[in-house]
Structure 1
Amino acid sequence: MIAPRTSRAASTVPPAGPQRPRAEGDALRTGTAAVVMAFLLAGCAAKVAAPPQATLAVPAQWRNAVGPGANGAAADGAQQVEQQWWLAFNDSALTALVTAALEHNGDLRVARARVADFHARVAAAHAGQLPSLSVNAAPARARTLAYNGVPYITNLFVAELQASYEVDLWGRLASATEAAAASYRAEQANADAAALSIAATVANAYLNLRGLDAQLELAIATLKLREESRRLAKQQFEVGYTSQLEWLQAQAEYETAAEQIPQLQRQIFETENALSFLTGGNPGPIARGTPLAELVPPPVPAGLPSELLRRRPDIARAEQSVIAANASLQATRDQLLPSFRLTATDGIQSTDFSNFLHSPINLWRFGAGITAPLFEGGRVQAQTDSAAAQRDQAIFAYESTVRNAFAEAENGIGAIYRLREQVVTNDARRETAAETLRIARNRYRNGYASYLEELDAQRTLYNADVARLQLRTRLLTASVDLYRALGGGWQQANPSPGR
């Protein structure tokens, strides 16, 4: 059986002379009784509820697949996470924005400050496992009465060096240190999760900005076409070739196209300000890089769902939270167990300052003490129950985090899969709309149809073009969302020699 840990007490120095053996025997019996009581109290440790049964099941594969695993073949083993996944877009402006955000973003700086805070807490918890050393210097001067009623003045000069150490027999201090270390690792993972989220938010905002730029260019080009159509409709109306209705329709379509420009400019303005805030700067213009038409979604290798458990920082954070809660539970439970503390004091003392400097009297004492709670009114047990409930909360939160990760990854993969199908359909739709406009324009110019047919064809083609730009933007942002859902990018394995 492990010897109990004790804490507070101090043994007295036995008197000199014939009484010493008897005093030593009394001290031995007293110490033995204290040890026996400590062992009895060790059986009074707080009861700990069993952890909940795990209900988390890892899916065998994704519902949809993209990349090399699209035919049902899983990736060959787990790949190392690429932290700078945004480099795969090959856009220097995007890289500069993400780099600035990771360095200057306010939320991320707060997260890193919390990491420093929890790192200091680990050091503070570990200090409890080490001996403590203190020094005390206490000069005193007092005027008191002697036994005969005559007052006299005494001086006392004391300097002591005190040392104490708690023997961690039950591991309570080690559990507290482990809880602090796990909380520190959880905060590190939380900072990584914040960095991943901020990088993805910046990338999405920039890609949306490039999409808005492309829509603005399309709106300006469309306005020029509508202006030419309006001029032609007005000219034909003035010469009596067409009715006023066609002229008014052309005018209304021109105004509709003109209305889109300030709306897109406002969205661009707000997106630029949002990016400036994310990167830790004041509102202002944002430098552009690769045009939307040249941005290509990077390929995403397919992998197994279980790889998320090693990739996503929020899962790592939830896992470390479980470890911290379990260690805190052990430390709380051990409060009912006896503690054992060693103390030692060495010092010098004199009633005269000159003697204190040159020939002081050396005094010392050494003690060992046992401290064990006898009655706490159920306080420790209640704290243990609370710590056990917190452990269960951490376990449930971990399972929810993992399930949410699976859902986000499934949504990201499914979004790319369906958006690619939409792009194919949109390409066919635009080809049909362009051919329809060509025929309608020829019929109108040859006098076989009214201008309304050409106007309707123009609207159809414009809507298809807008949808095409929006789909391209959504496909790019869906790739970013998938990177975020899967915990980052992928580092390509080095090819074997000769391949």
Structure 2
Amino acid sequence: MLPALLWGLMPSLWAAAAPGALVWEASVEETAAANPELRAARAGVTAAGHSASAAHSGNLPQLSAGAGYSDSSGSATAAGTSYSTSLSLSQNLFSGFQDSARIEQGAAALAQAEASLASTRARLSQELKSAFAGLQFAQDNVTLTDKIVQRLAENLRLVELRFEGGRENKGSLLLTQATLAQARYENLQARQTLASAQAQLARVLGRGEPAGLQVLGGVPVSLPEPAPDFPQLVQRIPELLQARAQERSAVAGVTLARSGFYPSVDVSGSVAREGENWMPDGDRRTVGLNLTLPLFSGGRDYYTTKSAAASLEAASSNRDNLERQLLVRLKQAYASYVESEEKLKVDRAFLDAAVLRAEIARSRYNNGLMSFEDWDRIENDLIQRQKTVLQSQRDRVTAEAAWEQAQGKGVIP
């Protein structure tokens, strides 16, 4: 039997065997620093920020300088060399709202990248909690199955003694032997699963080699709060913020497409010097104001505008649909979160009862006051309750992690 005290000390047993085990706080720090997916999302925000800044260039003047050299000594006429230097300045005054549309698209792309980063953080937080709890479950399951094998081996010796004394039949003996063999097989499975759980946590941490990875302690959990205002909560989810940014970019895309129907106004000026020697001393100045009025582009502007309008309609429809989907997901995640807390309480209560019943049943069977069938049923119930509590502890962590991800929250900074 696995006494209640030993049950609560399972993580301590692993700590004694692995003094270098990873604690929860360290796993969060390592994931934040080393996970490649998170680094990529951060780089995406940086790139989008630079692109958004570059979009403002259309509102600023363009300045350029130049220098030239020409040698026409082989020419039949006007043979000689010439030098030139120039400084040119140009400024767009009106471009059919193209510049403002590009600025808006740049800002929308930045907002989308920031929302994507928030979504990545929330998802990695959920994956980290699930992987940490999964490895903790795998470790505790190895300890539990070791204890089950030990207990069933003791049970087999008890049944063998009673069989040898003529107080138990051979069928009970064979069943106990088969039960022990099954427990040893499940212990083998638990050890095999441990390697898989180590690899999963190593992937989230950003490690290349999971060998020897062990965890100590557990993932912090909190009690469920009263049901929140789900429609209001949806509005802050990163996925919805991404969809809104896409819709915002589509609105700017319509403005950009329509710019082909508007005239363009530019002013430019240049100062140059030309002459046969360096430095040239012949001055030349030019100032210009240009107005370009589009008349016909072969239907390109018309169809581009139609396409942009359709893209805007698609983005708006996708945003509406996503908002409804997220609302459903929020409610489902919250329900699972609340239920997991209550289920863990119930399973622990059943385990306490099973431990006490098993103690009483062992004593009664040993004294010949209980049949093998009744004792075996109580023993099997204890083993199943122990396994169920382990699973419920893991499911409790993953349910809260899923609820946090559904809100776009997490522990990754």
Give the deviation of 1:194 after TM superposition: 0.5
Paired residues of 2:347 and 2:388 also in contact (CA < 8 A): yes
State the distance in 2 between where 1:186 and 1:433 align.
53
Q: How many residues align?
A: 389
TM-score in terms of structure 2 length: 0.87
State the distance in 2 between where 1:92 and 1:488 align.
23
SS of the residue corresponding to residue 185 of structure 1 reads helix
**Which residue in the other structure is 2:245 paired with?**
320
State the distance in 1 between where 2:47 and 2:391 align.
44
**Which residue in the other structure is 2:5 paired with?**
none
State the distance in 2 between where 1:445 and 1:105 align.
56
CA RMSD after TM alignment: 2.4
Is it true that 1:139 corresponds to 2:41 in the alignment?
A: no
Query: Between Structure 1 and Structure 2, whose CA radius of gyration is higher?
Result: 1
Match of 1:189 among 112, 115, 125: 115
Is it true that 1:336 corresponds to 2:261 in the alignment?
A: yes
State the distance in 2 between where 1:411 and 1:95 align.
28
- For 1:175, the aligned partner's letter is A
Is it true that 1:289 corresponds to 2:211 in the alignment?
A: no
Q: How does 1:217-256 map to 2 (within 5 A)?
A: 217-256=143-182
**Which residue in the other structure is 2:16 paired with?**
none
Q: How does 1:8-407 map to 2 (within 5 A)?
A: 93-142=23-72, 143-146=74-77, 153-168=79-94, 170-284=96-210, 285-291=212-218, 296-300=221-225, 302-350=227-275, 352-353=276-277, 356-357=278-279, 360-407=281-328
SS of the residue corresponding to residue 145 of structure 1 reads coil
**Which residue in the other structure is 1:78 paired with?**
none
**Which residue in the other structure is 2:3 paired with?**
none
- For 1:254, the aligned partner's letter is L
State the distance in 2 between where 1:332 and 1:210 align.
56
Paired residues of 1:311 and 1:488 also in contact (CA < 8 A): no
State the distance in 2 between where 1:424 and 1:349 align.
91
Is it true that 1:418 corresponds to 2:344 in the alignment?
A: no
Once the two structures are superposed, residues 251-285 of structure 1 have per-residue CA deviations (whole angstroms, 9 ceiling, x without a partner) of 11111111111212222221111111211112223
Paired residues of 1:163 and 1:345 also in contact (CA < 8 A): yes
Tell me which moved more, 445-454 or 368-377: 445-454
- For 1:286, the aligned partner's letter is L
Tell me which moved more, 360-369 or 375-384: 375-384
State the distance in 2 between where 1:243 and 1:302 align.
57
> Residues 218 and 297 (structure 1 numbering): CA distance in 2 closer, same or farther, change over 3 Å?
farther
State the distance in 2 between where 1:365 and 1:296 align.
73
Structure 2, unaligned runs of 5 or more: 1-20
- For 1:346, the aligned partner's letter is V
Give the deviation of 1:141 after TM superposition: 0.6
Give the deviation of 1:415 after TM superposition: 0.8
Once the two structures are superposed, residues 272-303 of structure 1 have per-residue CA deviations (whole angstroms, 9 ceiling, x without a partner) of 111112111122233423258xx643444643
- For 1:374, the aligned partner's letter is L
Once the two structures are superposed, residues 437-471 of structure 1 have per-residue CA deviations (whole angstroms, 9 ceiling, x without a partner) of 35543442233444233222211121122112211
Tell me which moved more, 257-266 or 305-314: 305-314
Paired residues of 2:105 and 2:253 also in contact (CA < 8 A): yes
SS of the residue corresponding to residue 294 of structure 2 reads coil
Paired residues of 2:224 and 2:338 also in contact (CA < 8 A): no
- For 2:318, the aligned partner's letter is A
Is it true that 1:478 corresponds to 2:405 in the alignment?
A: no
SS of the residue corresponding to residue 128 of structure 1 reads helix
Give the deviation of 1:340 after TM superposition: 0.6
- For 1:441, the aligned partner's letter is R
State the distance in 2 between where 1:291 and 1:185 align.
35
Once the two structures are superposed, residues 330-360 of structure 1 have per-residue CA deviations (whole angstroms, 9 ceiling, x without a partner) of 111112211011111111000x22xx42x61
State the distance in 2 between where 1:296 and 1:345 align.
69
SS of the residue corresponding to residue 389 of structure 2 reads helix
SS of the residue corresponding to residue 79 of structure 2 reads strand
State the distance in 1 between where 2:348 and 2:86 align.
88
**Which residue in the other structure is 1:445 paired with?**
366
State the distance in 2 between where 1:309 and 1:131 align.
43
Q: Which has more helix, going by share of residues?
A: 2
> Residues 451 and 94 (structure 1 numbering): CA distance in 2 closer, same or farther, change over 3 Å?
same
- For 1:445, the aligned partner's letter is N
**Which residue in the other structure is 1:467 paired with?**
388
Once the two structures are superposed, residues 195-254 of structure 1 have per-residue CA deviations (whole angstroms, 9 ceiling, x without a partner) of 111112101211222223232222111111101011222233334432322221111111
Once the two structures are superposed, residues 419-445 of structure 1 have per-residue CA deviations (whole angstroms, 9 ceiling, x without a partner) of 344335434544554455355434422
Paired residues of 1:308 and 1:487 also in contact (CA < 8 A): no
SS of the residue corresponding to residue 136 of structure 1 reads strand
Paired residues of 1:332 and 1:384 also in contact (CA < 8 A): yes
Tell me which moved more, 304-313 or 424-433: 424-433
Tell me which moved more, 440-449 or 214-223: 440-449
